[in-house]
Amino acid sequence: MNTHQTPAQKITKSYVDRLSTPETGQAFIRDTELKGFAVRITSSGAKSFILEKRIDGKVKRLTLGRYPELTVEQARKEAHKLLGHIATGRNPVAEKKQEALQGTTLKQAFDDFVKTRKNLKERTLYDYRRVMSIIFADWQDKPMIDINKDMVSKRHNKIGAERGEAYANLSMRFLRALFNFAIAQYEDGSGKSILHENPVVRLTQTRAWYRVERRQTVIKPHELKPWFEAIMNLKNDPISQNRETIRDYLLLVLFTGLRREEAASMTWANVDLQAKTLRVTDTKNHSDHNLPLSDFLYDLLQNRKARAINEYVFHRASGTGYVSEQRKQMAKVIKESGISFTIHDLRRTFLTIAESLDIPAYAVKRLANHKMSNDVTAGYIVTDVERLRQPMQKITDYILKCAGYRPSATVTDLSEKKSHKTS
C-alpha cells in the first residue's frame, strides 16, 4: 500500500476535518506537539488516530480509534495514557492482543486447530467433532482461560461413569491436544503464551487416568467356521442392498489386516488385478502400504470389479461414496454365529495367525504396515511386495481351513499357543 508522508502539523478538529483524501494508499500526518501521535487517512476517506512508539526495541503502531467516533481530544488523552504505560515498562500492544485472545473459546480454538492440522484423516476429524458436540457441548462457548483443572477432573469422572473409562481417557487426550495447540498458537505481542498451563495435566499429576487394558480379543480358530458361515449368509434383499458389500469388506479386513478406514475407503485405482496387488496410500503411519492378493482375495475383488458402479471398491448401493456404517450387519453376524467381534478384532486375528505360522517377524511387521524406525536391522531389509505373497497366501489358507473351505487340518488354538509363548 502506498504511504504518503505529509509535513507535521498540530492536529486539531478543524485540521482533521479539512484533510484531503489521497488518491491511492494512505497518508500520515504527525502531530507537532505530542511525539508519536498522528492521524491517518486512507484513499476511501476513513480517518483514524494512531500512536507510534518504540517498544521492546521495535517501533510499534497502535490504532487509537476512528474519527469522528473518537474526538481529537479523546485521542490525544488516550495517547498520553499509553505513553505513560510504556514509560513504566508496560507493552500496550501485547496487552491489547492478550485481552482479545483471552476471550478465545474452546470452539474457536477447535476451528483454528482443524484449519492448521490440514492432514487430519476424515475418521479422526469425525471423532473429534463428535467429542466436541457430545462431551464438551456445554464448554464450546467458554473461554479456554476459564477451563480449569478442577473442571477437567470432574468432567473426566463424569464421562467415565456415563460412557466408560476408555472413552473418558480418549476425550481428555483430545482436550489435552487442543490445549497444547492453543498454548503454542495464541501468543501476546511479546511472544508469551496466553495460556500458561494445560489443565488436563491434573489427570497426570494425580494419576487419575483410568487404567484401561489394551483389548486383546481375536476370533479363535475354532470360531472361524461359525463366523465365516454367518458372514457368507449376508445377502442383499429389498430392505438392505449393502449387505454383500459389507460382507466383502469384513472379509477383506480379515484376510489383509487392514485398518477400518484403510479398507473401507479403498479405490479401484489402488487395486491392480493384473499384478494381483493392492495399495493403501492414506495410512496411519503416512507410508504407502503394498500388499499381494491371495487367491481368495483376488477372486473376491474380481467379482466386485465386475459390479463396480463408482471409484470405491466397497461402494454404497446408492452409488455415492463407500459403506461407512457396518454395525447393523455385524450385529446380525454376531447373533447368528455367537461370536462377538469388532472390526479391529479382525486385524488382530490376521496378525495373530501370521505370528502363529512362524512367518518372519519383519514380514509380519510389513504385512501390518508397522513402522520400524527404531530397528536398525530393519532399515537394511527391503521387503518387496512379491516377498510377502507366500506369507499372505499361507495366512489365507490357514483361515480357509479353519472355516471349512479347505480340506480339514489340525487346528491349533492360537490363544493357547500365545499363552505358552509368553508364560
CATH number at residue 358: 1.10.443.10
Distance, CA of 65 to CA of 148 (rounded, Å): 35
> What pLDDT sits at residue 422?
40
pLDDT at site 378? 43
Sign, CA torsion 335/339/343/344: positive
Who contacts 315 (Cβ-Cβ below 8 Å, separation ≥6)?
A: 245, 308, 309, 321, 322, 323
- pLDDT band at residue 69 using 50, 70 and 90 as cut-offs: very high
Q: Is the pLDDT of residue 164 over 50?
A: yes
CB atoms within 10 A of CB 63: 11
410, 313 Cβ separation under 8 angstroms: no
210 located within any domain = no
pLDDT tier, 96 (very low <50, low <70, confident <90, very high otherwise): low
What pLDDT is attached to residue 14?
Answer: 92
Segment 176-189, tens digit of pLDDT: 999 999 999 887 65
Query: Could you say which of 205, 237, 265 is where a domain stops?
Result: 205
CATH number where 55 lies: 3.30.160.390
Spatial contact of 369 and 285, defined as CB atoms under 8 Å apart: yes
pLDDT digits (tens, 9 = 90+) for 337-370: 999 999 999 999 999 999 999 888 888 888 888 6
Strand order in the sheet with 3-9: 3-9, 26-31, 37-42, 47-55, 58-67
296 and 363 fall within a common domain: yes
Choosing from 205, 229, 246, the residue where a domain stops is 205
Confidence of residue 374 (pLDDT cuts 50, 70, 90): low
Residue 101 lies in a domain: no
CB 249 within 8 A of CB 262: no
C-alpha cell at 5: 508522508
Strands 3-9 and 26-31: parallel
Q: Is residue 127 domain-shared with residue 262, that is, in the same domain? A: no
Is residue 400 scored above 70 in pLDDT? yes
Same domain? 240 vs 376: yes
Side chain identity, residue 359: I
Same domain, 255 and 373: yes
How far is Cα 233 from Cα 257, in angstroms, rounded to an integer?
22
Cell numbers 448401493 correspond to: 317
DSSP states of 114-171: HHH-TT--HHHHHHHHHHHHHTSGGGTTSBGGG--HHHHHHHHHHHHHHH-HHHHHHH
What is the structure's pLDDT at 139? 96
Is residue 368 domain-shared with residue 418, that is, in the same domain? Answer: yes
Comparing 407 with 315, the larger pLDDT belongs to 315
Does residue 278 lie in a domain region?
yes
- 211, part of any domain: no
Whether the predicted pLDDT of 377 surpasses 50: no
C-alpha span between 92 and 139 (Å, rounded): 30
d(CA 396, CA 391): 9
pLDDT at 169: 95
Q: 225: closest CA among 349, 357, 393, 405?
A: 405
Residue-level pLDDT at 402:
94
**C-alpha–C-alpha distance, residues 6 and 113, integer Å:** 44
Task: Indicate whether 156 and 283 sit together in one domain.
Answer: no
Do 253 and 399 belong together in one domain? yes
CB 253 within 8 A of CB 339: no
Note the pLDDT of residue 382.
Answer: 45
Please, which pLDDT band fits residue 94 given cuts at 50, 70 and 90?
low
Q: What angle do CA 325, 330, 331 make, to 5 degrees?
A: 110
260 and 395 co-located in one domain:
yes
In this prediction, residues 186-197 reach a mean pLDDT of: 75
Write down the mean pLDDT value for the chain.
Answer: 86
CATH (domain of 128): 1.10.150.130
Amino acid in the structure at residue 85? H
β-bridge pairing 277-280 and 271-272: antiparallel
In a domain, 263, yes or no: yes
Q: What is the DSSP string of 64-85?
A: EEEETTS-HHHHHHHHHHHHHH
Q: What is the mean pLDDT of residues 61-77?
A: 91
The residue to which cell 463407500 is assigned: 322
The range of the structural domain enclosing residue 21 comes to 3-90
Q: Kindly report which listed range (213-217, 260-264, 385-389) carries the lowest average pLDDT score.
A: 213-217
Q: What is the pLDDT of residue 381?
A: 41
Q: Which of 8-12, 322-326, 372-376 has the lowest mean pLDDT?
A: 372-376
Measure Cα distances from 97 to 93, 100, 194 in Å.
Answer: 6, 5, 9
Segment among 69-73, 380-384, 417-421 with least mean pLDDT: 417-421
Residues 50 and 125 in one domain: no
What is the chain's alpha carbon radius of gyration, rounded to the nearest angstrom?
32
In this structure, the answer to whether residues 150 and 231 fall within a common structural domain is no
The answer as to whether 213 is a domain residue is no
What does the pLDDT average to over 13-21? Answer: 91
Predicted local distance difference test score (pLDDT) of residue 423: 37
Residues 189 and 234 in one domain: no
What is the residue type of 15? Y
pLDDT of 192 reads 73
Q: Is 99 part of any domain?
A: no
Same domain, 124 and 8: no
Task: Using the predicted structure, report yes or no on whether residue 276 has a pLDDT greater than 80.
Answer: yes
C-alpha cell recorded at residue 149? 483443572
Q: What Å distances lie between residue 423 and 141, 248, 356, 419, CA to CA?
A: 52, 37, 15, 6
Q: How many domains does the chain have?
A: 3
Mean pLDDT of the 26-34 span: 91
In the block, residue with C-alpha cell 487426550: 173
Looking at the predicted structure, is the pLDDT value of residue 417 above 80?
no
The answer to whether residue 223 scores a pLDDT higher than 50 is: yes
pLDDT at residue 269 tops 80: yes
* 359 domain residue, yes or no: yes
